[in-house]
Amino acid sequence: MCRMVCWIALLTALVPLLPAWAFLDPTVNLDAGIFIGKSNGSANAYLGIPYAKQPLGNLRFRQLEPNEPFFGIVNASEFGSVCPQVTEAVPTGTGGADEQTLDAMLAAKFPDAGVAGAEDCLRINIWVPKGSKPGDDLPVVVWLHPGEEGFVNGLLSLTRHTGAFVFGSSSSYNGEPIVARSIQNGQPIIYANLNYRYAAFGFLPGREAQDAGITNLGLRDQREALRWLQRYIRSFGGDPRRVTIWGLNSGSESVAMQMLTNGGNNEGLFSGAFMQSGFPLPLNNFTQLQVTYDALVNGTNCTSALDTLECLRQVSLETLTTAMNAIPPETIGEGWEVIVDDEFIPEQPTTLLMKGSVARVPYIIADTDDEGTETALFFTTLDTDEAMREWIATEALPGASDDEVNQILALYPNDPAQGSPFDTGTDNQIFPHFKQLAAIEGDLEFQGLRRFFLNQTAAHQPSWTYLSKLFKTLPGIGAGTATDLLNLYGPGDLTDLLINFVARGNPNNGTGLFWPEWKVDSRNILTIANDSTLSIENDTFREEGMNLLVSLLLENPQ
């Protein structure tokens, strides 16, 4: 017995002393452990590395604890599990060729939707240029993956609270094309992405969650992953002083929340931010979503427990996910979402912005031209003037007066030539009010809040913004949400701008079109045309309409 134990102890002690050439695949030393990755084109990939103790057993519904030091030989050649998520398939439209196109886009965007997942899922994946080593001090970009916003049990909530974190996974994204492009451009960077808790596991609301300090766990997971990178990225050849966080949709909202939490003190965890199609929206608080917590407790037969939260920790994963998926849409409202919790997000994001409680780092903030089309496709019932008026006054902007609704409809008339997809004439009018609805939704949820973010921060930190019109000819959708991502991961021109920004803190590199900063008195916006032509224009389109929508949003944020 002693012989076996002593032999294992000796092997463990010798592992850190083994040279890299002792392994056929790429390796990285972390603490007393050797992680064996795999070659992936121009990069070496290290996949599925746990960045904290996994939230298993009694650690479910708790803030993360740091890992114990690594030791031994660890396989890092495969992605980890998807985190538990809503297992409904990606929702579909009501039929027709245009909605079939949307269905295909959503399925491609969320290939892991419908996968139940496992709680042993909090892993980080890192792609490094081949040959990189400690001391190279390469800049790092961290991708916070999107989850579908507002989708709940196959339905979509078309309201101003579309920040639901329902499903998604880092394994859907391969960092090799971006790393390869950075090498080609002579500015090698490291790419990382990560999983974080979703749905009930990461965004549990209610008084019980508030009192236990476990609200917004998904955002806290991201924060812990960034701390892990600070401790270990040098081992991969990275520079912890140059870390850019980047996201799309709820990933972009996550980036914004990381900038807004902690009074704007980013703890040195990141030096830049890149936000695509997702900005701080008015949030619910824990009391407004108490019904969601209560429904989960009821569905797990924890109602009679003295400590319902402890009961939720003890039920099986299957019981918990079944209950989560069974909550009716009318009960769950807007889904599992970021909430104002008096701690991680102490006030409305718009209030924090106006107070200046934001990390003062350079950032890029971006939209596509037709942000509202994908959402609008699901609402064929909003096909009359009265239905549109009711939606504005009761869902989009509760509290808006009749006069204010009239102003909105005057600025966003039911004229297909003025609606979204913009600049497509009378084409793409899927149902009578489709393009009007898409225009209002896009400006209310995306364009207006992008400008609000810029107006509140651009005087204090370097800020750039772009508008993508790529894929404008896509039937029904036009340049919809995430269409620019195809260029970024393509790679394409936007990839080059991303790499410049990650490497320099500035998207310009002295060649090509100069992209000036956005200023209150000089509202420069980089526009990417459908044919990929780049130009600098004035960010003043539909200004009166956006100003009205945002002002009404601020008057009644909840």
How would residue 351 be classed by pLDDT, with cut points 50, 70 and 90?
very high
pLDDT band (50, 70, 90) for residue 557: confident
- pLDDT tens, 140-199? 999 999 875 433 333 334 444 445 576 677 888 999 999 999 999 999 999 999 999 999
Residue 9 reports pLDDT greater than 60: no
Q: Which is higher by pLDDT, 472 or 158? A: 472
Q: Identify the pLDDT of residue 159.
A: 42
pLDDT at 381: 87
What pLDDT does 86 receive? 83
Closest by CA to 256, choosing from 470, 66, 452, 500, is: 452
Give one DSSP letter per residue of 143-199, joined into a string. EE----SSEETTEE--SS---B-----GGG---HHHHHHHHHTT---EEEEE----H
User: Of 81-85, 123-127, 404-408, 432-436, which gets the smallest average pLDDT?
Assistant: 81-85
Q: What is the pLDDT of residue 24?
A: 85
CATH superfamily, with its number, for domain 375-490+503-558: Alpha/Beta hydrolase fold, catalytic domain (3.40.50.1820)
Domain locations along the chain: 375-490+503-558
Q: 479 and 277 in contact (C-beta within 8 Å)?
A: no
pLDDT at 106 over 80: no
CB 93 within 8 A of CB 377: yes
Percent of the chain with pLDDT over 70: 86
Within 83-150, strands assigned E span 123-129, 138-144
552 pLDDT above the threshold of 90: yes
pLDDT, mean over the chain: 90
Which pair of tokens denotes residue 446? 């995306």
Residue 158 pLDDT: 41
Q: Is omega for the bond preceding 349 within 30 degrees of 0, making it cis?
A: no
> What mean pLDDT is predicted for residues 102-129?
75
Q: What per-residue confidence (pLDDT) applies to 3?
A: 53
- In the predicted model, what is the mean pLDDT of residues 538-542? 99
Residue 19: pLDDT band by 50, 70, 90 thresholds?
A: low
Residue predicted with more confidence, 331 or 451: 451
pLDDT at 164: 58
Q: Residue 528: its pLDDT value, please?
A: 98
Percent of the chain with pLDDT over 90: 78
Write out pLDDT tens, residues 26-73: 999 999 999 999 999 999 999 999 999 999 999 999 999 999 999 999
Distance CA 340, CA 285 (A): 5
Average pLDDT (232-260) is 98
Whether pTM > 0.75 for this model: the answer is: yes
| Strand ranges across the sheet with 238-248 | 38-40, 43-50, 123-129, 190-194, 138-144, 238-248, 272-276, 363-368, 463-468, 524-528, 534-538
The predicted pLDDT at position 194 comes to 97
Which of 147 and 323 is assigned the larger pLDDT?
323
User: Each residue of 407-439: pLDDT tens digit?
Assistant: 999 999 999 999 999 999 999 999 999 999 999
Residue pLDDT, tens place only, 356-376:
999 999 999 999 999 999 989
